[in-house]
C-alpha cells in the first residue's frame, strides 16, 4: 500500500474536512484578489495617473507572477511540510495586501500585487494535492466541486466585491478588509493545521526556476504589449526570448527527470487524460478570466454606461450560479464520468461568448446578466470534472507535480486571455484612445467565441472512465 493510501485510511473524515476547509477558505480569499481590482481599473488609472494598458498589469501581473511561481510548488510540496507551506503562503499574501493598502503610487501597488500573487500561487496546488492525498477516489469529484467554487467563483465575483467596496469606500479598503481575514486564517492554520505527508530531500534547481520565470513572464508580456506604438519592437523580442526559454525549460526538466529531481515533472504529460484536461483547462480559463472577468466589466462600464457598483452587482448572479452547480457537477462526475458534463458545458460556453459578441451598445442589462449566467453555469459544469478527471489519472507520486502544472497553465491561460482579448478589442475599436468601444469589444468576445468552438471539439474527446466502486 502506498504512503498516500495509508494516510487516507488512517485520517478521520472529520479531520480531513477541517484541514481542507481551512485551505479552501484561505484559497478563496486569495484567488478573489486576482480580479477584485478589475472593476476598479478605470478609476485606478485616473487616480494613479497611468494609462489603461498600464493599469491592466494589476491583474495581468498578478497572473503572470502566479504562472512563474506555481511551477516551483511541486518541489515545495514534496520537500516541506504542508503546514509550513500554508503558513508561508498566508504570510506572503498578508504582506502583499498590506503593501497594496498603503501604496503611495502605482509602482508600489503593483509590487504589493506581485507579493500577494506569490502566496496565492502556492496555495492552489497545495489544496489540490491535499485532496488527492487525503480523499478516497470515489469522493474526489464532490470535493473537487468545492475547490471549483474557489478557483472559479472567487475570480468571478471579485469584480462584484470590488464594486461594492468602491461604492461605499475608497479603493484602499479592497485591501484593508482582506488583511484582517488573512491574519485570522494565519492563526487558525498555526494552531490547527496538520497535514500528513511524505517529504523528499530533492534539491531546488535554480536554473529551472530562472528559465520558467523568463519563459512565462516574457510570453504574457509580449502578447499583452502588441499594438502599443511606444514599444513597437519590444513585444516581439519578448516573445522570441520566452520561446527559447520555455524550450530550454522543457529540455532541462527532461534531463532532471532522469536524476529524479525535476522542478516540474513533465512525466505527467505521458497520461492522455491529463493532457486532454490541460488543453481544455487552458480554453476554460481563457474564457473565465479573459472574457468574463476582464472584457465584461469594461463592456458594462464603458459601453453600457453603468457605474462600478452596478457593473459589479451585475456579475454576482453568474458567480452564484457557478457556485451552485460546481459541487453537484462533482457528484455527477463520480457517477457518470467527465464526457456527459464536458460536452454540454463547452457548447454553453461557446454560445455565451458569441452572444456577448452580438449584444452591441444597446443591450438591456437583463440580457447581459442572463448571458453571463449561461457562461458561468457552463464553466462550472466543466471545471469540476476537468480537475478530478485529469488529476485522478496520475499516480500518487505525481499528484503534486500534476497539480502544479495544471495550476500553472490555468493562470497563464487567464493572463493570456486577458491580454489577447483586450489587445484585440483595443485594435478593433473605431474610436481613438486605449479604452475599447462596442465594436472593439465585439471583436474581443468574437475571438473568445472562436476558442469556445475549439473547446466544443475538445469536449468530444473525453471518455467515460471505468467507475470506481465505493467501499461497503
Residue 470 lies in a domain: no
Same domain for 441 and 340? yes
pLDDT recorded at residue 251:
92
Residue 467 lies in a domain: no
With contact defined as beta carbons under 8 Å apart, do 155 and 31 qualify?
Answer: yes
Same domain for 380 and 326? yes
Q: Tell me, what DSSP letter sits at residue 61?
A: H
Residue 468 lies in a domain: no
pLDDT recorded at residue 401:
79
Same domain for 361 and 250? no
Same domain for 242 and 195? no
Q: What's the Rg (C-alpha) of the chain? A: 21
By CB atoms closer than 10 A (0-12, 13-18, 19+), residue 107 is: exposed
Cα separation, 330 vs 271, whole angstroms? 21
CATH code assigned at 100: 1.20.1250.20
With contact defined as beta carbons under 8 Å apart, do 97 and 179 qualify?
Answer: yes
Residue 186 lies in a domain: yes
pLDDT recorded at residue 468:
47
pLDDT recorded at residue 167:
78
Cα separation, 341 vs 330, whole angstroms? 10
Same domain for 323 and 215? no
pLDDT recorded at residue 355:
95
DSSP code per residue over 157-180: HHHHHHHHHHHHS-TTHHHHHHHH
Domain-ending residue, one of 215, 242, 262: 262
Same domain for 294 and 252? no
pLDDT recorded at residue 374:
94
Cα separation, 195 vs 395, whole angstroms? 19
Residue 469 lies in a domain: no
pLDDT recorded at residue 2:
46
With contact defined as beta carbons under 8 Å apart, do 321 and 376 qualify?
Answer: yes
Same domain for 97 and 187? yes
The kind and range of the H/E element at 469 are: none
With contact defined as beta carbons under 8 Å apart, do 224 and 177 qualify?
Answer: no
- Spell out a b/e string for 419-444, using b for 16 or more CB atoms within 10 Å of the CB, else e: bbbbbbbbebbeeeebbbbbebbbbb
Domain-ending residue, one of 262, 285, 301: 262
Domain-ending residue, one of 241, 262, 283: 262
H helices present in 315-437, as ranges: 316-336, 339-359, 365-392, 399-428
Cell of 239: 516573445
Same domain for 322 and 218? no
Low-confidence ranges of the chain (pLDDT < 70): 1-14, 52-53, 137-138, 140-142, 152, 156, 194-202, 220, 223-232, 432-435, 464-472
Same domain for 127 and 243? no
With contact defined as beta carbons under 8 Å apart, do 322 and 376 qualify?
Answer: yes
Same domain for 452 and 413? yes
Same domain for 198 and 133? yes
Same domain for 347 and 216? no
Residue 36 lies in a domain: yes
Residue 247 lies in a domain: yes
pLDDT recorded at residue 13:
61
Please give the tally of structural domains in the chain.
Answer: 2
Residue 29 lies in a domain: yes
Cell of 89: 503562503
Q: Which domain holds residue 239?
A: 205-262
By CB atoms closer than 10 A (0-12, 13-18, 19+), residue 25 is: middle
Amino acid at each position: 500500500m502506498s504512503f498516500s493510501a495509508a494516510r487516507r485510511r488512517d485520517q478521520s473524515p472529520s479531520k480531513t474536512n477541517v484541514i481542507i476547509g481551512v485551505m479552501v477558505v484561505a484559497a478563496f480569499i486569495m484567488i478573489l484578489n486576482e480580479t477584485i481590482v478589475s472593476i476598479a481599473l478605470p478609476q485606478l488609472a485616473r487616480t494613479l495617473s497611468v494609462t489603461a494598458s498600464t493599469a491592466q498589469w494589476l491583474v495581468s501581473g498578478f497572473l503572470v507572477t502566479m504562472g512563474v511561481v506555481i511551477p516551483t510548488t511541486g518541489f515545495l510540496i514534496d520537500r516541506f511540510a504542508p503546514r509550513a507551506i500554508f503558513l508561508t503562503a498566508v504570510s506572503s499574501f498578508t504582506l502583499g495586501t498590506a503593501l497594496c493598502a498603503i501604496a503611495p503610487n502605482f509602482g508600489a501597488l503593483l509590487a504589493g500585487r506581485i507579493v500577494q500573487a506569490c502566496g496565492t500561487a502556492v496555495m492552489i496546488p497545495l489544496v489540490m494535492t491535499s485532496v488527492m492525498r487525503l480523499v478516497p477516489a470515489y469522493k474526489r469529484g464532490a470535493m473537487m466541486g468545492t475547490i471549483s467554487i474557489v478557483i472559479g467563483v472567487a475570480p468571478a465575483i471579485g469584480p462584484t466585491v470590488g464594486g461594492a467596496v468602491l461604492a461605499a469606500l475608497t479603493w484602499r479598503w479592497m485591501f484593508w478588509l482582506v488583511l484582517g481575514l488573512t491574519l485570522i486564517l494565519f492563526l487558525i492554520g498555526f494552531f490547527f493545521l496538520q497535514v500528513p505527508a511524505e517529504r523528499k530531500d530533492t534539491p531546488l534547481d535554480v536554473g529551472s526556476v530562472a528559465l520558467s520565470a523568463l519563459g512565462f513572464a516574457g510570453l504574457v508580456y509580449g502578447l499583452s504589449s502588441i499594438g502599443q506604438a511606444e514599444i513597437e519592437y519590444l513585444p516581439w523580442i519578448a516573445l522570441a526570448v520566452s520561446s527559447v526559454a520555455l524550450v530550454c525549460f522543457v529540455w532541462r526538466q527532461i534531463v532532471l527527470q532522469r536524476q529524479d529531481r525535476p522542478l516540474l515533472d513533465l512525466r505527467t504529460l505521458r497520461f492522455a487524460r491529463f493532457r486532454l484536461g490541460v488543453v481544455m483547462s487552458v480554453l476554460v480559463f481563457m474564457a473565465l478570466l479573459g472574457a468574463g472577468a476582464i472584457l465584461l466589466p469594461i463592456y458594462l462600464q464603458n459601453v453600457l454606461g453603468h457605474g462600478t457598483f452596478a457593473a459589479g452587482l451585475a456579475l454576482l448572479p453568474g458567480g452564484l450560479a457557478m457556485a451552485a452547480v460546481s459541487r453537484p457537477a462533482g457528484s455527477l462526475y463520480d457517477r457518470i464520468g467527465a464526457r456527459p458534463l464536458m460536452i454540454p458545458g463547452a457548447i454553453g460556453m461557446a454560445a455565451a461568448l458569441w452572444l456577448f459578441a452580438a449584444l452591441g451598445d444597446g443591450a438591456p442589462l437583463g440580457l447581459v446578466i442572463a448571458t453571463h449566467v449561461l457562461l458561468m453555469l457552463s464553466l462550472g459544469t466543466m471545471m469540476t470534472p476537468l480537475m478530478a478527471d485529469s488529476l485522478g489519472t496520475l499516480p500518487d507520486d505525481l499528484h503534486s507535480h500534476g497539480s502544479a502544472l495544471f495550476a500553472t497553465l490555468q493562470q497563464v491561460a487567464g493572463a493570456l486571455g486577458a491580454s489577447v482579448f483586450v489587445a484585440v478589442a483595443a485594435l478593433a475599436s473605431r474610436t481613438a484612445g486605449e479604452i475599447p468601444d462596442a465594436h472593439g469589444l465585439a471583436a474581443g468576445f468574437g475571438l473568445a467565441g472562436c476558442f469556445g468552438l475549439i473547446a466544443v471539439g475538445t469536449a468530444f474527446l473525453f471518455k467515460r472512465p471505468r467507475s470506481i466502486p465505493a467501499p461497503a
